[in-house]
Structure 1
Amino acid sequence: MKSPLNIILASKSPRRQELLKLMGFDFKVVLKDVDESFPVTLTPEEVAIFISEKKARAFDDSITDEVVITSDTIVCINDQILGKPVDREEALNMIAMLSGATHKVITGVSILRNHNIISFHDTTTVSLEALTDEEAAYYIDTFKPYDKAGAYGIQEWIGMNKISRIEGSYTNVMGLPTEKLYKHLIALS
């Protein structure tokens, strides 16, 4: 499907790039460094949108007729936000927290066009079966999920073998709630 939109995806995530391509949109990838800190008073949903809007605002002065898509995905368990792990130990700790529990994956998405930002979020509830220490180490050492919030990817080994239930959008857990994004992009066309 050919879209009249001149889309920039501001994400280095291969999963987000693959999802937008599978949605049928042409786009180019442009990256900008953005400080992803946030006020601690925000709810997890507000954090995801706050960061995605920060990423979008970084493009505000450098685009003309383009539509910029930015997003941020967080994992939240017991009101604790899990971002991307910085090393193996932190990844193992995150997996241990999620093991045998239910958590939320929240993605904030922002669409910047003509200095206006449209933002929304999606939340998916994910139940993860318990992992042994050996399984957790195997997963971390084999898949090295250091670029993934909560230290896991649903499309990898852990998703195939240990996720017993999801409520909500599967693609949201991958980092881009395509169903909601598609509606917004079509409305802009």
Structure 2
Amino acid sequence: MGVPVQPGRHGRRPAAFRAIAGFALAVAGSSALGLVAGLIWGEAAPRAVLQEIATGTAELVNEETSAFIGADALFCVIAAVAGLITGVVGYRFLMARAGSGARAAAAAGLILGAVAGALVMLWLGGQIGLSGYNHQLAFSADGTLFPASLTLGAKSALAFWPMFTAIVIVVAEWGTRHQDSPPEPLPGYAQPPE
């Protein structure tokens, strides 16, 4: 006679493992996408032009430059596109075929991963050109022109990536649930007998 097997014990472990793996994959994937987004933002964002006025001191050449607004706007656009990518790909490959527990873990991972991706994007984009800026600021002769370091003025732009990811998830879930429910009868018409 064999050893009795506890019902449901083996079914829970793989489900929990799938939920944890989906969560970790979502966070890691979004963070990796944050590296790509940071490279794009760091290379493509406009930068204000500074002029060295004394050792270690520089001022804006044009006080009315639109470079700061342009850099923030580009960050928002890249973050929105990354949020759409994260939401669509994450929903398609992590949530669409998962059970309810794994779906919730994957959704949480996608949204937290989007926050991480936005922070990685901010950090990496700010690092691109920073050493050159610091070198110019410390060692340039008076009157030298050089680009400013890249910063994000509107910190609220960090919300774009997780917001767009969450919107995709909500719309996809709503569409899935809406398809699964039977259509409501039109007012004034009798429901056909079953």
Q: TM-score, normalised by structure 2?
A: 0.25
Whichever of the two has the greater Rg, that structure is: 2
More helix per residue: 2
Q: TM-score, normalised by structure 1?
A: 0.25
Greater RCO, 1 or 2 (C-alpha within 8 Å, sep 6+): 2
